[in-house]
Structure 1
Amino acid sequence: HILCCLQLLTLPPLMHLHCQFPGLSPPHQCHDQRYDQDPHIQYIIRSLCCHRLNCEQDCVNVLCACFFEDYSHAVSEGVLLLYLCDQSMFSVTQGETKVLKLKNLRPKDFANYTCEVTVRNVCDIPESSVTFRLTNATTPPALRLSVNETLVVDPGKDVTLSCEVTAGFPKPTVTWSRYPNPLPRNSLVRNGTLTLRSVTPADSGFYNCTAVNNVGNPAKRNVNLLVRSMGNLTFQITPDSNKDSESIQMGRDLKLSCHVDAQPQDKVNYTWYKNAALVYNSDSLIVLRSDPDMAPGTSSLEIVDMKFRDQATYSCVANFPGSTVPELRVDVNITQSSVTPPILTVPAGGQVVSVREGGSADLVCLVDGKPRPPVLWSRADKDLPMPTGEWAVETRNGRLRLTNVTRDLLGSYRCQTAPYNGLNIKPRQAQVQLNVQYAPVLDPVFQDVRSPNYQFVTLRCLIQKSNPARVASVRWVRNGEPLSSLTPDPQEKPQLKFKLDPSNNGTYECRVSNGVGSSTCTFNVSSRPYNAEFYFDTPNPIRIQKVNNYSYNLQWTQRDPAATDRIIGYWVNVRTMNQVNMFSKQIDKKEPVKGGLMSYTLTDLKIPVSYEIRLAPITTYSTGDYVSRTIQYSEHHICGFEDERICGFSQDRSDKFDWTRQNHLTQNPKRSSNTGPEMDRSGNKEGYYMYIEASRPRVAGDNARLLSPLYNVTAARGPKGSGRLPYCVSFFYHMKGKHIGSLNVWLRVKSIASVGDRVWTLDGNQGPDWIQANINVNPSGPFQVMFEAIRGSGYEGDIAIDDVSVTKGKCKQENSVSNTGTVCMSQCYCRVKFIQDAGLGSVCI
């Protein structure tokens, strides 16, 4: 029951550590070693010791795993070795699905395995886990269907589909699904059997049976269910195509065709009758079960050299043999006088149909002929579908009704005879123009117009399109009152020109009508200045003052300052979040320029109170609109160097060279490949970081220093008796390369700026990952943090830092403890962990 709790740390290579179990006799030792020559090993395992039952209490922030004597074997019995570096024993594939692959299994490897997933309680999302037992009987699933892969049934029948599991341990879970639609509402799934009650043609589709037991790939079987259906039986009369004929003539061939929309189409049986007598193949009558010259599933009856005796009533009957689906029948009377070519015409006055937008319209084409064919409608001048979404709409009487007409339906529509239920000849065509009338479309719909007082202002309302195009009337209105004396000629482009003064500011409307509808251009005309625009990227705007107060450097720009009268200052109003006013005062400023940044320092703000700040520009005649923002007192700030101002950090002038701000997109493509980061600390290629370039002209010993802003602690007090307030300096560093030099962190106190204390240092190659460092400092006054990078012996020695923060109080370790008392030390926010036998062995990915 003795475990070693292992914590992943970065230490120099080939370091031996020893650990004794407290309170036990004789003591047990853990001997762990880092083999730096293996490229897969990135960490040193530091051993800490604890009891198994007290793992969570005694080994906080550590990963509890089995007791190892070394990397070659385990002392504990029946434990699977799960080494971060041992690629021969297992591998983990990265991606959305995490997979643990076990190789070269031994009897002791058969055990329970648990996969735990956590996001460190972000957004209160709890951890989740699943346990799997591996035995020598573990096998992937296999299935067998009780029916053929294609199943055809009559409507109204009950259908049972059984999916029998023939192999698989643990016992697979069987589920049914349907593609592309969900399972029907009348379906029932029980013990791997799917039952459908009283099926209809809508229940047809592909039904999928899937068995899963988390071993290997899922087993799948598919059934294509076809519920018989039949409808829309049509016929065609085709005169002798060799003679280019459009009528029935004696001595020439004639073809009668019959087609039904059915499912399954290839199972339909067609039967032909002549005057109610079954037709058999002969020299003059030939039955084609599937006519190659017609659409698939079409049967034809060819009449060769038509004679007087062939004039009769022919019937086509379609059915499913042995099915309960009712058969369909169509009768066609064939005589010289009963079949005449169709004639298609547009009634007088119907060539152009006008309708107001939103109304209804009837498009009419008259058709005559024996038999009279349907009429198909489609768009003639645009490659667009009909309003129903179909490319053609069939009408029995040639009348097409359109409702809720919109302007995009404007255009020409084609009507033509259908090739079915009549003569199969060249279609007759005609066109009808649909004219959709709508109100004028104006620009601008709304415009904010600013101007200095006592200057002329011109308002223009542009008519972009209108149907009809003729303008019936134009009216100008100010603040709801008509300006009759200024109404222009309706045929001219509507515009209004006047001199602005404090009395005629307001809302102007231009109302344009074309007799069908009216539209409006609205102008908000004012001499008031535009609002100010706050600047939110001020580096370190908060400064600590005495007596528990702080100041805030408020910055803003002025939008289009030359648009109105000269801005002479600003009103600033400060109040707490509970609407208690602190003060309101006028700030006198020089006339702002476009894009110029203005500042004002708000003082005597109480820690840690937040405030609402309201700001408005002032001119000689008026005050602009107020804009507001909230400022919050915040000590915690992480600098990721995303802004060019690098959060107020600066280069030290006493060093040999400078740090460089860079990301993956801005780095030199010829940079050394075996050093330096590819991405920032968060794994973002577009994210920035600060680094030193170790290539020439740099030489060994050259140093680069980066200074933080000043952190003011004069009003702060530490614990009783200490006199100093502790601070936590936290950052991430990247030190990859065989020529890595040193990274030092110095603390500079303002009162003794020339003197600094080195509070942290690290030398040599630390691997390819970003690693976090936390430093507790106790400055005696206002201080700065200085990062010093020293170039090593060669060009493969780039050093980088990212996500620097300085916060009040001692550093807090942020780790995530699982329900089993096991902690994965990881730099990722999302963690997946595989555990064998509830913690006897684990690996984090």
Structure 2
Amino acid sequence: MDSMMRRYRRSSRGGREASELVDDMGSLLIVLNDVHAPPMIRLSVNDSVVVDPGQDVVMTCEVTAGLPPPTVTWSRYPGPLPLSAQVRGPTLVLRAVTPADAGFYNCTATNNVGNPARKNVNLTVRTMSNLTFQITPDSNKDSETIQMGRDLKLSCHVDATPQDKVNYTWYKNGAPVFNSDSLILLRSDPDMAPGTSSLEIVDMKFRDLAMYSCVANFPGSRVPELRVDVNISQNSVTPPMISVPPGGQIVSVREGGNAELVCLIDGKPRPPILWSRTEKDLLMPSGKPAMETPDGRLRLRNVSRDMMGLYRCQTAPYNGLNIKRREAQVQLNVQYPPMLDPVFQDVRSRNFQIVTLRCAVLRSNPPRLTDIRWQRNGEFIRMSMPDLKQTPELKFKLEPTSNGTYECRVSNSAGTSTCRYNVSAQPYNAEFYFDTPNPVRILKGNNYSYNLQWTQRDPQATDRIIGYWLNVRQNKQNLVSKQIDLRGKEPEKGVLMSHTITDLRIPLSYEVRLAPITTYSTGDYVSRIILYSEPYTYPRSSDQVCGFEDERICGFSQDRSDVFDWTRQNNLTHNPKRSANTGPETDRSGTKEGYYMYIEASRPRAQGDKARLLSPLFNVSSVRGPKGSGRVPYCVSFYYHMKGKHIGGVQGVGQ
């Protein structure tokens, strides 16, 4: 060993430092040294920090261990760090915090050794608002008034953060109140909402008639204190009464207008009024279950028909007597124009046939109609006054001169709505079949041809279709403009039609436009782009069969108009995270190397989604079958795998 010359090298491997010794014999000795360590941190503040609004907060995440030196990051939950936050290395600085800055702040240290180190700080910003009071007469006597010789309880509550740190102080005519036989202070009243302080007056005497004050504050905080005064005298407290003014039980307003619902309140002190919907689960226009109004007037803007219904007004359980609620109801009636069906309809018909247009009134408020009028191309149609109680209807014979836009205008006292119809004898559009995968290349010259395929939407709806206009364009210039004559054979619904476009130059693409022609009119053009692709060369030998082992999948192609695609895979390449019990484990051969085509039909796939493979074109006319057979030697066969309770179907389309 001593006679060997050695070379020394240090490197980092697997989170440790490695020393390598290489001797002159080519041997390698590796010694691992434990000099890497996971991160450790500590915070400069407690895990819970409570501050006043406007105060600066500085939090430092001190790294106490870790090699290599950890990287420190700060984050917040919920939401991102405030825009005012400043991160200076391991230190986070929050300037002039607001209640919106409250939340959990997370410090994370990482160095790719072991697990990251994390510490959390719960930042609370003090807030205080909405100080309310309640006056509770002697509940044991079921009383709703203040009486001498009875008990009385005054309560106050403030919405605060943190709620349990609020301090309540009671005063009587400006002097602090202390516990005595006749005055009992409750820091947290068990009969009230959490965080409520109460002052109980036992066996009330004339000396107890006074001005009582409740003051809420955070001790030692800069948050301003809140104060409420309650005057208890023989004439200062009377039970509330609630009523609806004459004629105010039903309020009518047109949709889009403004409305005011009124409930009159009387009593001392006069409590706020809470408005809500009487129908279960219906929210107020504000999106909340209830809305508070100090004067009992509920003002609604831009009223919609969804707001129509019965509204309840109730005395609030605070800022007044804590007794059984008083309530009343107001009906909001929203007037809106008739709701009609259809709003728009495309009507196609043969010429000289009777066309019937119906405009159904679904809802209307008020329900009584005031007028029904029909128009054609903006001009009123002269006709006898229709029965306003019947469904509006117009019948006429369609002629080449009576094609156009028809409107039925239905009115009530709230406004007018319209049913519109586009009436014509123009045929529906042609609908292109899915992509023809491979154009047929003509051997002579640098040309190819394309087999254009389409179906006709509802061919019997209008006059007889006698042919089609065909335009072939390249760079927006017409190269071919011709009429395809059907020679007396009408299109049939769902039956494929085809036309071969020749003399297309390789490898150019073209825009093809197609429009149906009837005896009286021409339909709209529809267009598509056709592309050239090299046809697939199939094995000629009869003992060769093309399968999906071929990367070109036998010339099949994915349909561009479907929803999702097929995937070529085998047992070795399939996605291990595919949904359970979906697809075969192997192809028909049973080997792991055999390829097959697969679709994932689970979510996000939905019923009706299609994945379509298109086969190449076969020029069967150029191949003769065995002598005397009278057929061509082509055979297309495939195996498919479908299993499970909720499988759909497999469909092949050919011609």
TM-score normalized with structure 2 length: 0.80
The Cα shift of 1:588 comes to: 2.1
Distance 1:338 1:79 in 2: 88
What is the match of residue 447 of structure 2? 549
Q: Residues 271 and 315 of structure 2 are in contact (CA less than 8 Å); yes or no, is this contact kept in structure 1?
A: yes
Q: Contact 2:439/2:535 (CA < 8 Å) preserved in 1?
A: no
Distance 1:78 1:453, change over 3 A: farther
Query: Residue 387 of structure 1 is aligned with which of 264, 285, 297?
Result: 285
Segment of structure 1 superposing worse, 204-213 or 368-377: 204-213
Determine which of 538, 549, 557 is the counterpart of 2:436: 538
The within-5 A match list for 1:357-436 is 357-436=255-334
Alpha-carbon offset, residue 667 of structure 1: 6.2
1:157-190 deviations in whole A, cap 9, x for unaligned? 2111111111222222212222213322322110
| Equivalent residue in structure 1 for 2:494, among 561, 580, 595 | 595
**Residue in structure 1 matching 2:102, options 204, 211, 231:** 204
Residues 17, 36 of structure 2: 8 Å contact kept: no
Distance in 2 separating the partners of 1:787 and 1:504? 53
Aligned residue number for residue 445 of structure 1: 343
Separation (CA, whole Å) in 2 of partners of 1:613 and 1:231: 71
Structure 1 equivalent of residue 520 of structure 2: 621
Runs of 4+ in structure 1 deviating by more than 6 angstroms, as ranges, are 77-81, 636-641, 646-649, 661-674, 750-754, 784-789
Instruction: Output the CA distance in 1 between the equivalents of 2:301 and 2:512.
Output: 55
Aligned to 1:182: 80
CA distance in 2, matches of 1:593, 1:299: 84
**Segment drifting more, 668-677 vs 300-309:** 668-677
Greater relative CO (CA pairs within 8 A, separation 6+)? 1
- The partner residue of 2:123 within 221, 225, 230 is 225
Unaligned 5+ segments in structure 1 are: 1-76, 82-101, 111-133, 650-660, 688-707, 713-749, 755-783, 790-845
Question: Aligned to 1:482, which of 376, 380, 391?
Answer: 380
Q: Which amino acid aligns with 2:495?
A: G
Aligned to 1:499: 397
- 2:96 match: secondary structure: coil
Distance between the aligned counterparts of 2:370 and 2:251, measured in 1? 22
Contact preservation (8 Å) 1:318, 1:327: yes
The residue that corresponds to 2:61 in the other structure is: 163
2:509 maps to which of 607, 610, 631: 610
Residue 320 of structure 1, CA deviation: 1.0
Query: Is 1:632 the counterpart of 2:547 in the alignment?
Result: no
Q: Does 1:586 align with 2:484?
A: yes
- Tell me how far apart the structure 2 counterparts of residues 204 and 666 of structure 1 sit (CA, whole Å): 48
Determine which of 211, 218, 240 is the counterpart of 2:138. Answer: 240
Residue 670 of structure 1: how far off its partner (Å): 12
8 Å Cα contact 2:587-2:594 kept in structure 1: no
For residue 456 of structure 1, the aligned residue among 339, 348, 354 is 354
Partner of 2:600: 685
Q: Are 1:679 and 1:686, in contact at CA under 8 Å, matched by a contact in 2?
A: no
- Structure 1 counterpart SS, 2:477: coil
Query: What is the CA–CA distance in structure 1 between the aligned matches of 2:444 and 2:474, rounded to whole Å?
Result: 20
SS of aligned partner of 1:484: coil
Alpha carbons of structure 1 residues 351 and 209: separation in structure 2 relative to 1, 3 Å = same
Residue 164 of structure 2 corresponds to residue 266 of structure 1: yes
Kindly provide the CA deviation profile for residues 87-129 of structure 1, in whole angstroms up to 9, marking residues without a partner as x.
Answer: xxxxxxxxxxxxxxx69x894699xxxxxxxxxxxxxxxxxxx
Q: Alignment partner for residue 305 of structure 1, among 203, 217, 239?
A: 203
Does structure 2 conserve the Cα–Cα contact (< 8 Å) formed by 1:250 and 1:305?
A: yes
Q: Tell me how far apart the structure 1 counterparts of residues 164 and 99 of structure 2 sit (CA, whole Å).
A: 16
CA deviations over 1:390-448 (Å, ceiling 9, x no partner): 22111111111111111111111111001111000111001111111111111111111
Helix, strand or coil: the match of 2:460? helix
User: What is residue 577 of structure 1 aligned with on the other side?
Assistant: 475
- C-alpha displacement of 1:218: 2.4
What residue number does 1:698 align with? none
Question: CA offsets, 1:558-599, max 9 Å, x none?
Answer: 100111112122121112134243332333252111100011
- C-alpha displacement at 1:387, in angstroms? 1.6
Q: Structure 1: how far apart are the matches of 2:262 and 2:547?
A: 70
Whole-angstrom CA distance in 1 between matches of 2:385 and 2:118: 77
**Counterpart contact for 2:170–2:214, Cα < 8 Å:** yes
417-426 or 379-388, which deviates more: 379-388
> RMSD over aligned Cα, in angstroms?
3.6
* Separation of aligned partners in 2, 1:325 and 1:399: 33
Change (3 A) 1:231 1:673: farther
SS in 2 for 1:562: coil
Instruction: Trace 1:284-363 onto structure 2 (pairs within 5 A).
Output: 284-363=182-261
1:17-73, Cα deviation, whole Å (9 max, x unpaired) = xxxxxxxxxxxxxxxxxxxxxxxxxxxxxxxxxxxxxxxxxxxxxxxxxxxxxxxxx
Distance 2:20 2:255 in 1: 76
Distance 1:673 1:460, change over 3 A: same
Measure the CA separation in 1 of the matches of 2:617 and 2:252. 76
Q: Is the 1:289–1:299 Cα contact (8 Å) retained in structure 2?
A: yes
Q: 1:18-57, aligned counterparts within 5 Å? A: none
Give the deviation of 1:224 after TM superposition: 1.2
Q: Secondary structure at the match of 2:140?
A: helix
| Alignment match, 2:566 | none
Match in the other structure for 2:561:
none
CA deviations 1:62-87 (Å, max 9, x no partner) are xxxxxxxxxxxxxxx99999xxxxxx
- SS of residue paired to 1:464: strand
Q: How far apart, CA to CA, are the structure 2 residues paired with 1:325 and 1:407?
A: 45
Aligned to 2:648: none
> What is the CA-CA distance between 1:488 and the residue it aligns to?
2.1
The superposition leaves residues 434-475 of structure 1 with CA deviations (integer Å, 9 ceiling, x where unpaired) of 111111111111111111111111000011111111111111
Compute the displacement of 1:478 (Å): 0.6
**Superposition deviation, residue 674 in structure 1:** 6.7
Q: Which residue of 2 is the match for residue 90 of structure 1?
A: none
CA–CA separation in structure 1 for the residues paired with 2:287 and 2:320? 26
Counterpart-to-counterpart distance in 1, 2:637 and 2:413: 79
Indicate the residue corresponding to 2:612 in structure 1: none
The one-letter amino acid of 2:486's match is: D
- 1:194 is paired with a residue whose SS is strand
Q: Which secondary structure state, in structure 1, belongs to the residue aligned with residue 184 of structure 2?
A: strand
Relative distance call for 1:640 and 1:471 in structure 2 (3 A) is farther
Distance change (3 Å), C-alpha of 1:535 and 1:553:
same
Q: Aligned partners of 1:466, 1:416: CA distance in 2, in Å?
A: 31
In structure 2, the residue corresponding to 1:321 is in which secondary structure? coil
Residue type of the alignment partner of 1:308? F
1:482-531 per-residue CA deviation (whole Å, 9 max, x = no partner) reads: 10226523332111001111111111111111121211111111111111
Q: Distance in 1 between matches of 2:586 and 2:215?
A: 80
Q: SS where residue 202 of structure 1 aligns?
A: helix
CA contact (8 A) 2:535 2:555 kept: no
Q: CA deviation at 1:330?
A: 1.1
For residues 365-394 of structure 1, what are the alpha-carbon distances to aligned partners after superposition, in whole Å with 9 as ceiling and x for unaligned?
110101110111111124122222222111
Distance in 1 between residues matched to 2:246 and 2:72, nearest whole Å: 68
Please tell me whether the aligned partners of residues 347 and 424 of structure 2 are also in contact (alpha carbons under 8 angstroms).
Answer: yes
Superposed CA offset, 1:771-826 (max 9, x none): xxxxxxxxxxxxx999999xxxxxxxxxxxxxxxxxxxxxxxxxxxxxxxxxxxxx
Q: Tell me the amino acid that sits aligned with residue 184 of structure 1.
A: P
After superposition, the C-alpha distances for 1:610-650 in whole angstroms (9 at most, x for unaligned) are 11111111222222111111111123889998xxxx9888x
Alignment correspondent of 2:541: none
AA aligned opposite 1:366: L
Matching residue's letter, 2:512 = I
Give the corresponding residue for 2:369: 471
CA distance in 2, matches of 1:592, 1:80: 77
Distance 1:423 1:568, change over 3 A: same
Q: Deviations over 1:259-298 (max 9, x none)?
A: 1111111111111111222211112111000011111110
How high is the sequence identity, in percent, across the aligned residues?
68
